[in-house]
Structure 1
Amino acid sequence: MIRKFRTDDLEQVMELWLATNISAHDFISVKYWHANYALVKEMLPQANIWVYEKNNEIWGFIGLQDTYIAGIFVADKAQGKGIGSELLAKAKQQKSQLSLAVYAKNERALNFYQRADFTVVNEQLDETTDQVEYLMKWQAS
């Protein structure tokens, strides 16, 4: 079930944020994610967040800042089951265009977004991680 984020979801969402970032970005130091944890925890409730909940456990979430997807996070055990696609579909229902940034080395995420009709519109360097990332956009037809 997809539902709006509630403040009592914060701990579960943050655990998922940390675990998923470490797992998906083995090319970035684990220290980076731990160093940014407190800032993300403070800023996250200000975003428009939808969670995917099953058996009272959050299996995934999407964070939006207007039309920018700050991230889609799905628990390792739940990946490949369509949860990310459902969360993305929820965002597409609400917005006629979306954008996001994805690390070039995160091929799984890059392929996911390309299958969802996002196109790369720019390549840039994320100076905080020294990693190349792609700016991607989607427009409703």
Structure 2
Amino acid sequence: MIRAFEETDMDTLVDIWYKGSLQAHHFIEADYWKSQMEDMKQKYIPMSETHVLMSPSGIVGFISMVDNYLAALFIDVAHQNKGAGKELLDFEKNRKSEIHLKVYKENSSAVRFYEKNGFVVKEELTDEQTKQPEYLMVWSGN
């Protein structure tokens, strides 16, 4: 079941985001992700429209959108590679006609995931904070 984010979900979402970021972004210092935790909690999640995917045992993952920009898609490490990411992405694809996102070039599993789900690389950029190369990817439902 997918439902709208509730304030009581915040600590769980930040934990999923942090652990997922450490796993997916081994090429960035762990201290960087730790330094971003408070901003996730106070700024980024509150400014986005966030939905969570539930299982009987609790929150499996979440997706955060700012208009047509996919700001975050994170699945609890224990639930990855079981279709949860696709389920959340399809949820937003049914609500939007176009979705943009940025993904680190070195995060090859995420790049493959998005390509498999119809996204195409539009541009190669450099993340200002981490100085890492990233792709701007776009999905269009038209």
TM above 0.5, one fold?
Answer: yes
TM-superposed CA distance for 1:57, in Å, is 1.4
Amino acid at match of 1:49: T
Quote the residue 1:77 is aligned against.
78
- For structure 1, list consecutive stretches of 5 or more residues without a partner in the other structure: none
TM-superposed CA distance for 1:56, in Å, is 4.4
Q: Percent identity?
A: 37
Runs (4 or more) in structure 1 with deviation over 6 Å come to none
Supply the distance in 2 between the matched residues of 1:99 and 1:81 (Cα, whole angstroms): 24
Amino acid at match of 1:61: F
CA contact (8 A) 2:16 2:77 kept: no
- For structure 2, list consecutive stretches of 5 or more residues without a partner in the other structure: none
TM-superposed CA distance for 1:55, in Å, is 2.0
Quote the residue 1:37 is aligned against.
37
TM-score when scaled to structure 1? 0.97
The DSSP-based 3-state class of the residue aligned with 2:102 is strand
Quote the residue 1:65 is aligned against.
66
TM-superposed CA distance for 1:123, in Å, is 0.3
Quote the residue 1:101 is aligned against.
102
The DSSP-based 3-state class of the residue aligned with 1:9 is helix
TM-superposed CA distance for 1:127, in Å, is 2.1
Task: Please give the per-residue CA displacement for 1:50-92, whole angstroms capped at 9, x wherever unaligned.
Answer: 1011124111100000000001100111111100000000110
Supply the distance in 1 between the matched residues of 2:134 and 2:70 (Cα, whole angstroms): 14
Give me the CA root mean square deviation: 0.8
TM-score when scaled to structure 2? 0.97
TM-superposed CA distance for 1:46, in Å, is 2.2
Supply the distance in 1 between the matched residues of 2:137 and 2:60 (Cα, whole angstroms): 25
